[in-house]
Structure 1
Amino acid sequence: MLALAAGLLGAALGPWLARATVRLSRRDAAAAPGRTRTVLTALLTGVVLAGAAALTGPRPLLAGVLWLGAAAVVLAGVDLAVHRLPDVVTLPALAVLLGAVAVDALVEGSGVRALSGALLGAAAFAVGVVLRLVAPAGLGFGDVKLLAPLGVLLGWWGGGALVVAGLFLGLFLGAGGSLALLATRRAGWRTAVPFGPPLLLGAAVAVVLAGPL
């Protein structure tokens, strides 16, 4: 029932998230999505939130995971459209997730997990900063900031090993997508490729493989 309720919530949020995606992509507060985008966004959000609820269960952390899942739909859409990850979506998702982690620690006694998530989120962000400095063309700073909430979630869920696995999967998927575009001549060596969707997908796959709480 929890997963069904979350799925229905995601479907209900779909039209609003579709509008947010289009408006953030075009930087136009009056932009409106087409019917196809609206339906696909509702379906995708419903699936994401239902899966998040099934894996997390009825605990305070769920609020942060659901928020991050909805934010991920918007971030992926904007990044695919204009190669940008808006702070107005990423930073609130991080704040809500940290708040949910803190409440979960108080209610469920998951203090060790909370500390691990916060520290590993900071570590993931620091690694992203280093990668950005070493290879500026590889990761944008929006990607670097996205590593913070992903690191918090993965670190809380399964510790450092899951953070490494999730980020590796994301980078691997991103590199594989870039090579596929090169092979099909849909991109050149200097073409910017969005890394937000692969990072989000890699984190989601890692959580699914780790299993329910």
Structure 2
Amino acid sequence: MSVMLMALAAAYGAAVGLLLPRPAYRMAVEPEDGWRTTCPGGHALTGAARGWLGPGRCPGCGPYGPGALTMATVTALACAALAAATGPRPELLAWLLMAPAAVLLTAVDWRVRRLPDALTLPLAAAAAGVLGLVAGWTGETGAWRRALLGGLLLAACYLLLHGVNRSGLGLGDVKLAAGLGVALGWYGWRTLVTGGAAGVLLGGLYAAGLVLVRRRDRPTVMPLGPFMIVGAFGGLLLGAAAAP
């Protein structure tokens, strides 16, 4: 059963991952700019190429944006790992819905140091909404209330960090923390602390590595979102595996 579930989750992840390169490219812009409407060669994206889902390919100059195979592989592996850790429990539906959005956010933030509201806010709402449905179905209303509180607490922690270091941590990170906190809080406070702290630790290690490699007093501006997501992913796997 678990092998079949992992295979189905991987197939789902691969199929959805193939749809992510185009939005990753179009959303990878500076905060003051609108979504991209041209390919890297300057050709206007028209017809199907202007849409929001699918591989990035311009009829005039070929592929653009993140590789479709890479996005599909990463999303498939993430979904398979979540299925292996969670098993057939109903909250797996929430994790499988969140995983592609997390991969997309990672790709965008890594490229332009930006976490768009169009992704972070729906991610938090979807996590809360789907887990609410799961709680209503299974009767785990306590876990749902804890998940909502976990989202608020993790967002509050990042808001405090934003107040201390506005140049290194943006409001996009705060909004992302809300969605990640909801997911982590479902499995308990220990999972919330583990996943939240892991993201900060990974980001700090990367920043320290930049200082050592580039021999600077300060690292260059770096994206924190990917490290938050990887840390939360690890915490979620541990929480799901330990859940009764």
- TM-score by length of structure 2 reads 0.81
Residue 239 of structure 2 corresponds to residue 210 of structure 1: yes
Determine if contact 1:90/1:145 at 8 Å carries over to the other structure.
yes
Aligned counterpart, 1:17: 20
The count of aligned residue pairs is 212
Q: CA deviation at 1:149?
A: 0.9
- Deviation digits for residues 49-72 of structure 1 (CA, Å, limit 9, x no counterpart): 111222223344222211211111
Q: Cα gap change, 1:29/1:145 in structure 2, threshold over 3 Å: closer, same or farther?
A: same
Give distance in 1, aligned partners of 2:112 and 2:90: 34
Q: Residue 36 of structure 2 aligns to which amino acid in structure 1?
A: D
Aligned counterpart, 1:200: 229
Task: Name the structure with the higher helix share.
Answer: 1
Q: CA deviation at 1:166?
A: 1.1
Which of 36, 58, 74 is the equivalent residue of 1:28? 36
Q: CA deviation at 1:207?
A: 2.0
Aligned counterpart, 2:45: none
Unmatched segments (≥5 aa) in structure 1: none
Determine if contact 2:21/2:65 at 8 Å carries over to the other structure.
no
Unmatched segments (≥5 aa) in structure 2: 30-34, 40-55, 57-62
- Deviation digits for residues 5-26 of structure 1 (CA, Å, limit 9, x no counterpart): 1111111112211111111114
Q: Percent identity?
A: 36
Aligned counterpart, 2:196: 167
Q: Cα gap change, 1:29/1:4 in structure 2, threshold over 3 Å: closer, same or farther?
A: farther
Which of 71, 94, 102 is the equivalent residue of 2:101? 71
Aligned counterpart, 2:180: 150
| Structure label with greater radius of gyration | 2
Secondary structure, in 3 states, of the residue corresponding to 1:16? coil
Q: CA deviation at 1:36?
A: 6.7
Aligned counterpart, 2:151: 121
Q: CA deviation at 1:208?
A: 2.3
Residue 220 of structure 2 corresponds to residue 191 of structure 1: yes
Aligned counterpart, 1:44: 74
Aligned counterpart, 1:80: 110
Aligned counterpart, 1:178: 207
Give distance in 2, aligned partners of 1:91 and 1:55: 26
Q: CA RMSD in A?
A: 1.9
- Deviation digits for residues 88-107 of structure 1 (CA, Å, limit 9, x no counterpart): 11111111111111111111
- Deviation digits for residues 34-88 of structure 1 (CA, Å, limit 9, x no counterpart): 4871111110010011112222233442222112111110011001100001111
